[in-house]
Amino acid sequence: PSPSPSPATTTTPPQPQQIATKLVNRPDILGVIGHYSSGVTLATADIYKTSQLVSISPISSAVQISNKSPYLFRTIPSDAITARALIDHMRQTLNRKKAVIYYTATSDYSKSLKGELNSSLLRQGGQVIAEYDLGQSGFNPKQTLQAAIQQGADTILLATSGDTLNRGLQVVRANKNQLPILSGDDVYSPETLEIGGPSAKNMIVAVPWHILAPGSEDFALRSRKIWGGDVNWRTATAYDATVALTIALQKAPSRASLKNALSAPAFSAPGASRTVNFLPSGDRNAPVQLVKIVEGNRSSYGYDFEPIP
């Protein structure tokens, strides 16, 4: 984040908007891959729209991005799709009904996922017993979890953001495998395997892509040759954004025509594991992959993320 402005610079735009403005003022730039967080993508969307500059985000999943701008696309499914997959698993596979949600009130992504989890669970006849902000001063994982269980919670839904992941993992450790845990993609990290340890076993995480999922073999092999190791979903969705932009530029090498090329119903690009194409909203037309934390030796922590068939 940018430092607080001094009284003499109170009109200076935040750093993301400054960067976006610099990009749109360069006529040689025909498209942008980014941004990373949903908050930054939302904050810069109108700047790109005004200058008719396409941006494709590989990471931003907040539902507010859908239909935000005709020049805004993304190669990650929206939180609505993620929430639906997690709640389907909770209700149909685990046969659980009452959830406690942990989220981050200052994160656009986390609030988006929380809202979609809430809506999806309600539609399927479930109930959110309690919601707790991981970023709240004095947050106590044990007390909040005990209170939720006393109120009848039978499932933990974790919508943590990157900056509150540590607190989310405190909840995982406090749970000690009592309740099943289902989570959004920010939890997919080495820290979860290392810090969560045995307490994270059987945890379910929804991700856009997994290296062991069907259809990922070719990209996994090629990426290992380039980088000498495994890559995660963030690399795959960034690759998809790059390929989509490259193919569209070959057909339409101008700002205005690039948007039309990406928006065309017939547009497609070969992604890391499946074809990349976009809905009229700018969203990726693709499902998510559920993975489970199991004992294993692919990582150095004794636990791995494995795809659920």
In tens, the pLDDT along 82-108 reads 999 999 999 999 999 999 999 999 999
Asked whether residue 161 is assigned to any structural domain, the reply reads yes
Sign of CA dihedral 84, 284, 37, 272: positive
Q: What are phi and psi of 235, to 5 degrees?
A: -65, -40
Range of the domain at 112: 79-207
Do both 191 and 253 map to the same domain? no
The total number of structural domains in the chain stands at: 2
Do both 100 and 141 map to the same domain? yes
Do both 131 and 249 map to the same domain? no
Six-digit token pair at 215? Answer: 């259809």
Residue 11 has pLDDT above 90, yes or no: no
**Model pLDDT for residues 232-241, shown as the tens digit of each residue:** 999 999 999 9
Q: Is the pTM of this model over 0.85?
A: yes
Asked whether residue 218 is assigned to any structural domain, the reply reads no
Do both 110 and 136 map to the same domain? yes
Do both 84 and 200 map to the same domain? yes
Q: What is the mean pLDDT of residues 204-222?
A: 96
Distance CA 228, CA 19 (A): 32
Q: Which residue has the higher pLDDT, 251 or 7?
A: 251
Do both 166 and 189 map to the same domain? yes
Q: Where are the alpha helices (DSSP H) in the chain?
A: 15-24, 38-50, 79-88, 108-123, 141-150, 165-175, 190-191, 217-227, 233-251, 255-263
How does residue 5 score in pLDDT terms, banded at 50, 70 and 90?
very low
**Model pLDDT for residues 20-52, shown as the tens digit of each residue:** 999 999 999 999 999 999 999 999 999 999 999
Give me the percent of the chain exceeding a pLDDT of 70.
96
